[in-house]
Structure 1
Amino acid sequence: MANRSTANSIDEYIAGFPPETQKVLEELRALIKASAPDATETISYAIPTFDLNGKHLVHFAGYERHVGLYPAPSGLEAFKKDLKPYKSGKGSVQFPLGQPLPKDLIHRIVEFRVEQNTGNASKIGRDYVLRMLGGRSP
């Protein structure tokens, strides 16, 4: 296994995990790529990172019992209700290994971060609130 803390690429980082964790990390990576096709991959803070327009979009990481997604506090705040089943912090959420990743939720979080990055966050935020209210305005 590769040393994750010195990985120079996301492939190298993922290779440092057991096969079961590698599979989940690759799935998370693919979800992020599909949700942010123009983002570029890098390693930042010793973990996989997707950048867009020269700014960090989201980070992700593997751990012994979970994978973590780091979409910045704003990326979590907008989905607070949907994230209730998961352990989360100010700018992170943990998805337990052995449970399916919430693909739709991850897609919406990354899409929201893309919109923030490109300056369209108010529209996606408004659309999200309207969906949560069943189409009614607040």
Structure 2
Amino acid sequence: MYNDAVTAYISGFEPTIRERLNALRTVFHEELPQTEESIRYRMPAFTVGEKGYLYFAAYKQHIGFYPVYGLVKLAPEIEQYKAKKAKDTLHFMHDQPLPLALVRQIIRYKSK
């Protein structure tokens, strides 16, 4: 189910960033049709599994994707996106394509 607060968050960005955020949002709903959206910690949050959340947030240079701890099986794939100074965070740089297939894998893994 779509949430008006998440829609408002996304609409606050320039069109190219908005498109990227909407692509991530769509992947969540395709992979987890029952996901619930909300704003938590001032960023879009999506329920995964019984008690978990995944988040994303847009910044000037990148989109942050959180938290990504416990993804040992996906370690080689996520390595190039790991944030340098932030633990359990991926950075998807705006000048690079979004790794939507990887995001799908993360959502599936975290929802188990």
Q: TM class by shorter-chain length?
A: 0.7 to 0.9
Match of 1:44 in 2: 40
Match of 1:119 in 2: none
Match of 1:18 in 2: 14
Match of 1:27 in 2: 23
- Output the CA distance in 1 between the equivalents of 2:76 and 2:16: 29
TM-score normalized by the length of structure 1 = 0.70
CA shift, 1:55, in A, is: 2.5
CA shift, 1:78, in A, is: 3.5
CA shift, 1:95, in A, is: 0.5
Q: Could you tell me which of 69, 73, 94 is aligned with 1:73?
A: 69
- Output the CA distance in 1 between the equivalents of 2:72 and 2:8: 31
CA shift, 1:54, in A, is: 5.7
Whether the 8 Å contact between 1:9 and 1:42 is mirrored in structure 2 is yes
Which contiguous aligned blocks of 4+ residues in structure 1 show a shift greater than 3 angstroms?
none
CA shift, 1:72, in A, is: 4.0
Task: Report the number of matched residues.
Answer: 107
TM-score normalized by the length of structure 2 = 0.84
- Output the CA distance in 1 between the equivalents of 2:40 and 2:57: 11
Structure 1 vs Structure 2 CA RMSD: 1.8
Q: Could you tell me which of 91, 95, 105 is aligned with 1:94?
A: 91
Query: Counterpart amino acid of 1:29?
Result: R
CA shift, 1:19, in A, is: 1.2
Gaps of 5+ in 2: none
The share of aligned pairs that are identical, in percent, is 31
Highest RCO, 1 vs 2 (Cα 8 Å, sep ≥ 6) = 2
- Output the CA distance in 2 between the equivalents of 1:86 and 1:53: 23
Q: Which moved more, 1:31-40 or 1:49-58?
A: 49-58
Q: Highest CA radius of gyration, 1 or 2?
A: 1
